[in-house]
Each structure stands twice: as structure tokens, then as C-alpha cells.
Homo-oligomer: A and B are copies of this chain.
Amino acid sequence: MVEHSLAEVLHPQSIAVVGASDDGRGSQYFSSLIDFGFKGILYPVNPKYTEVMKIKAYPTVKDIPGPVDYVISAAPAPQIPRIMQDCVEKGVKGIHLFTARFSETGRQDAAELERNILRIAKEGGVRIIGPNCMGVYYPKMGISFQPHFPKESGSIALASQSGQAAGEIINKTTQRGALFNKAISYGNAIDFNECDFLEYFANDPEIKIIMMYIEGPKNGSRFFNLLREVTRKKPVVIIKGGRGRSGTRAVSSHTASLAGSTEIWNTMISQSGAVSVSNIEELVDVAVSFYFLPPIVGRKVGVAAGAGGATVLAADQCEEAGLDVITLPQEIREELKSQGVQIWDWISNPADFSINMGDENFGPQQLLKMMAMHPNFDLIIASVNIPGMGGPPSNPNRPPRKGGPPWANAQMSIDEIVNQYKQINDYKPLLGLIQDRSPDAKDINDPREEQRWKTACEVTGKFIELKIPYYPTISRAAVAASKVIGYYQMRQQ
């Protein structure tokens, strides 16, 4: 097999940043490369300076003495044909055009400029990522378009037509502990397009999960054919921008893409075996689930999502997402009875945290563990009560007690609480619920609120260490689980 053309572009030994300066956007690219420890040679290019960030600067790409493999351009649009010409002469392999103001403006002259640039590149053998995009995040190579992205590598790949979406997806996914191998924001896609990225990611052994944000595929039929192949090997999770009338309009002025028919898109995606999502939160939830969960092919879920009404709504939302909230197996009831649990006939699945089990040593956590150990269950969804973050209303019959369930006992340490969830996860894949805390105006000067926030951070950190995914609502956990299961069921057929 011939090496993929993207492989060469993504592994440069030297990078020139055109438009680098001590401030402004070019500098953010330049300083990110320094900060991420890019191992090759870096060249700032800017006719206005003799050095940038204490590194010798060159007026043009042509003036650089050594070879240049990759160029990042933050220069204004009208300068790009000349820069592209320089790249051709210099033997540059790939250029990322952060530069915008091309066909997306809807203007004839800008579209003509874009075509002209592509012509020069094609004739001269330079490949283009973009224009109008954020480019490459590839932490292992020391390449990033934001200085604050994690420097650690994972197994996710992302191809996003939008730079904003790429940033939001990377931030929200890595915050939940799932890390990227490569992410590429590719904008107007005049050269490399969605098919190239998908094909490359499919064959990259370091990549296990592929995320895509697409406004309009440049080559629809090749894309769907590829997709059908790739999904047999790796999950591909896709969000489509430009689904309605106004979104289609926005797509045209954003990346000059043709959004196409939503009906045709939906049919093709569902036939391809890809996982389709409709907002960024869902995209992140599904990717995080693929990242941490083993392959699950059954839909029978054991649930413990709080007390009373929360239990009822949890059951509804799991079922509406396509999971099967089965009744408690008879063996578990018999076991409860033989253990002397008074309400063996009352308690059920979902487990209700507000029901006192009537036994010092038996609580919902023990019931959850019995469900996790029973072969009837395929997965567990359980809420995580964080000390001080407000638990279910307590029951007069149930004073807090040592050794009891974590939500009843403020004295338990965070490690003890997290360990109870680890024990569940040892038997069955576990999805944790940890609620978001919206900024609360009235709590701004309340030190307990700050403590709660820090405790929550500590708990999520420990879940990530244990490789247990967590979600802010039951409905988001259930929808993500159902989509992941649907994918593995498709693979099984």
C-alpha cells in the first residue's frame, strides 16, 4: 500500500509559520508549537521582524535556508497566491491556510482567488488543509492550534469542517478524560476533504474512534462508500451542520459548502453504520462512551438514579432512549429474602435511594452490586452523590450510618465513595451520573459552594482514572449508551 498523502503532510520535520509575530494570531500558532515541544525546526516568517519570540525570522518562505515541510499561514487572503508560489519553489509538502475570506464570503473575486490558489498548489504539488480553518492538533507530533489543549495523546481522531466546533469538541471531550490522537479542522476543504481524513484515520492503528463535524461533504458518494467500510472496523460518530433552511444558509456563508438534502443524508448515514448525533453534547457523550466502555451488545440496564421522582423519570428516560430497564431477577429477590432484607418484595430496578432497606448492612449500593453480578444485566447506570452537593431527601427511618450507602453518609471519604462505584464497574460496564453545577449567583461568596465545586472536580478526576465515563443527566447517559450498543449490535450482524 502506498503511504497516504496525508501521512507525509502530518509528519513534518520543519514548520514555517507565515504571519508569526510577538502578538496576534500567527503568534498563537507559533507559541503553541514551542509550547507543545515540536521536535523539528521552526521558522517564523514575517517581513516586519528580524526575530519572533527570540527565533530568527525570515521575510518569506523562500528566504529560509533549510528545507521546509509544512507551512501554517495566518497571512491575509490577497497574499496567499504569492506565498503558495514560494511554497511550490521551496518544495513544501503541505500548507495549512488559517487565512479566511474566500468562497465563504459569497463573492466572485474571493472564489476566483480560492480557485487560483488551488491551481498553483496542484500544479506545484503542494497539498492544502483549508482554507478558513484552525488546522491540526496532533499532540504526539507537538502540533496544536490552541496552547491549552492537553499535551497527552489518546485514541480519538476528529475531522471538523468548523474550527469553532473543533475547539469546543476537543475541550469538552478532553475535560471528560477522553484524549485525542489527531484532530483536524479543515474549513472550505478545497484540496484535502472529509474522504481523505476518514480514509487516513481508518488505517491509522493508533486511532480507535473517529468523530466528524461535517457541513457539506465534497464527495458524497465516495464518502458514504468509505463510511460503510470504516464503520465495520471503528466507530464513526458524525454531526451534520446545516440541517434546516437557516442552517443551510449559515453553512454557505461559513465554509461555502452545499449542505444538501437532510433526508438523503440521514438515510445514507443510517445505512452506513455510522452513529449520527444532533448536537455537540451528544457527540461528546457518545465519543466518551466509546472511549471508556467495552463493547456492549445487550440493552438490559440496572439503574440507580437517586430517589423517588428521579427514579421514575430515570426509568422513563432509559426506556425512551431504547434501553431495557428489566425487572429484578427472581434470584436476586430470593437472595434478598434469605439475607433478611425486610422489603425484598418491594425494592426493584431502578433502585430507589429514598427507600430504606431496613437493614444496617444493606442499601441501594449493595442492590446495585447484585445487579452488576447477575448475568441478566448488560450495563449499569448509577448516580454519584457528591458530599455536600445535596442528596435525596432522607427518610425518618434511616439515620446516616457508617458502612451504609454513600449518599447517606457524609462521613465517608471520597476514596471510599468512589471505591463503591469501582466495585460495580468490576462486574459490568458502569455509566456514572455527575450533575453539572451551573454558576449560581447567590453562592458566589459561599465557601461551601467552592468546596462542593472542588469536591466534584476530585470525584470526576477519580472516575477518569478508573476509566468510568460520567454524564451530567440520566437522559444523556441513556442516549449515549443506547447509541454505543446500537453500533456494536450492528457490528455483530
Contact = CB atoms under 8 A, between A and B. Distances in A.
Contacts of A394: 25
A318 B250 CA distance: 13
Nearest to A251: B312
A489 B25 CA distance: 48
Interface stretch (A113-121, A164-172, A374-382): A164-172
Given A243-B316, A279-B473, A309 B392 contact: no
A458 interface: yes
A445 to B, nearest CB: 9
A193 interface: no
Contacts of A98: 396
Contact of A244 (B315, B457, B464): B315
A163 B310 CA distance: 10
B352 A253 contact: yes
A34 interface: no
A40 interface: no
A160 B250 CA distance: 42
A437 to B, nearest CB: 7
Interface string A257-291: 00000000000000000000011110000000000
Contacts of A74: 396
Contacts of A320: 243-244, 278
Interface in A62-105: 74-76, 98-101, 105
Nearest to A213: B309
Given A319-B244, A454-B444, A457-B444, A26 B396 contact: yes
28 contacts: A24-B399, A99-B396, A105-B343, A106-B345, A106-B346, A163-B309, A164-B308, A164-B309, A164-B354, A165-B310, A167-B393, A176-B438, A177-B441, A213-B309, A239-B313, A241-B313, A246-B319, A247-B313, A250-B315, A250-B352, A253-B355, A279-B317, A434-B439, A438-B460, A439-B456, A439-B457, A441-B464, A450-B450
Given A164-B308, A254-B308, A281-B473, 14 more contacts: A98-B396, A105-B346, A106-B345, A134-B393, A150-B442, A164-B311, A244-B320, A247-B315, A247-B319, A250-B315, A436-B439, A438-B460, A439-B457, A450-B450
Interface of A: 19, 24-26, 74-76, 98-101, 105-107, 134, 150, 160-168, 171, 175-177, 213, 215, 239, 241-247, 249-251, 253-254, 278-281, 306-320, 325-327, 343, 345-350, 352, 354-355, 390, 392-397, 399, 434, 436-444, 450, 453-454, 456-461, 464, 472-473, 475
